[in-house]
Structure 1
């Protein structure tokens, strides 16, 4: 059996055991090129994507990964419409009220709010949104890790997004860690009107998030977990939120 087939078999077995989900309708492919492993395919949601990548890192024994996993868009959304929705959502977000919002359209930069000259002002920043085949790329600069992570989550919240590549820079630079992840998730849950953030507890250890507390519905419980999985640079999510009528 080829090395990639062995890793794929181990990853899929661990995925089904840990998540209790099967991906028979979402074929996953892996291919080694030297010590670089490319992971490709379609998955139903961001949680499945992050879980598969995490398990692949474990079972490929430190190989460099090329992530070509995409989340299925149902229904599919055209790149232009998706770009417009994301730019509008970012422009409406209170935490990005001082950011210049731009879109890259057919190679041309279009400033949708503010001016490029304002991007360097204290307390400001700039975000440029590019969409190609449902993959959203964010470039520019923001003022904190929480804002950087919130930008990714905001893109994921817009239906039709297949992946998010966050290349936003931090000005000034900021060291990452468990406290920063916890702070970002508090901000995300407070921003998401579908959950009641005050009833959810967050614990982060070694970049792994554990959610606790209680909510009124199973849908709210799932949404809080999805919000956590949408964060960049995390190593997993454990959902211990209870549902109470």
Structure 2
């Protein structure tokens, strides 16, 4: 197996070719322990983070990868404010109107809506607990579909100033993940995002790669649609072929 310094050089070279970005102000560290590769450091955005992790996994030959990469936040907010922002988005979302929403505050669980007894009844859609520590949002609990799980993760990123989202939500009844599921989840996200005209964008998913096509009226909207795709769980690559038409 190659040394960690060699793998790091290969990963950064491939990253620069693919993204045309140089991470000279964002130091990345890699280290092996047996067949396990640990990747740590800070990156400018979620897209860079996912690209680095995907390249490290594919180029290192490691049996297991430990991800300690975080997104650098220019204007951080406190953990409490971030937790409140994530919870507020979940409370206001139509797709989670029957879901119990909880926040973990100073080690204690505070139920913000519903009761735990109602979470699993026929009208309920599960329960989500939000924890924030050092700018990292962790979601635990249970939801009724993979799309709901992915949507909850995107809401956490939308809250802003987030360094990472750890989405540990269980899905019940269990669903098999596939390309159609990823496409459906991203359709849902784009339809909810007020900054994107979802009806002008088509989505194709293949082996955890999402391709976006269609047209929008500004470069900002084009970038926003791509960013929403990167926010989804289990996305390794996003190909943005959206045209900008004034």
TM superposition shift of 1:73: 1.4
Q: Secondary structure at the match of 1:179?
A: helix
Look up the match of 1:160: 161
TM superposition shift of 1:192: 0.5
With the length of structure 1 as denominator, give the TM-score of the two structures.
Answer: 0.98
Look up the match of 1:171: 172
- Misfit runs of 4+, over 6 Å: none
CA RMSD of aligned residues (A): 0.9
Look up the match of 1:41: 41
Look up the match of 2:151: 150
Look up the match of 2:78: 78
Deviation string for 1:45-91 (max 9, x for gaps)? 10000111111111112431100000111201111110011000111
Q: List alignment gaps of at least 5 residues for structure 2.
A: none
Q: List alignment gaps of at least 5 residues for structure 1.
A: none
| Aligned mates of 1:110, 1:15 — CA distance in 2 | 42
| Aligned mates of 2:113, 2:73 — CA distance in 1 | 28
Q: Secondary structure at the match of 1:186?
A: helix
Does the 8 A contact of 2:36 with 2:62 survive in 1? no
**Pairing 1:136–2:137 present:** yes
TM superposition shift of 1:205: 1.1
After the TM superposition, which of the residue ranges 118-127 and 203-212 deviates more from structure 2?
A: 118-127
Look up the match of 1:54: 54
Length, aligned pairs only: 244
| Aligned mates of 2:125, 2:219 — CA distance in 1 | 38
TM superposition shift of 1:235: 2.4
**Pairing 1:4–2:4 present:** yes
TM superposition shift of 1:226: 0.4
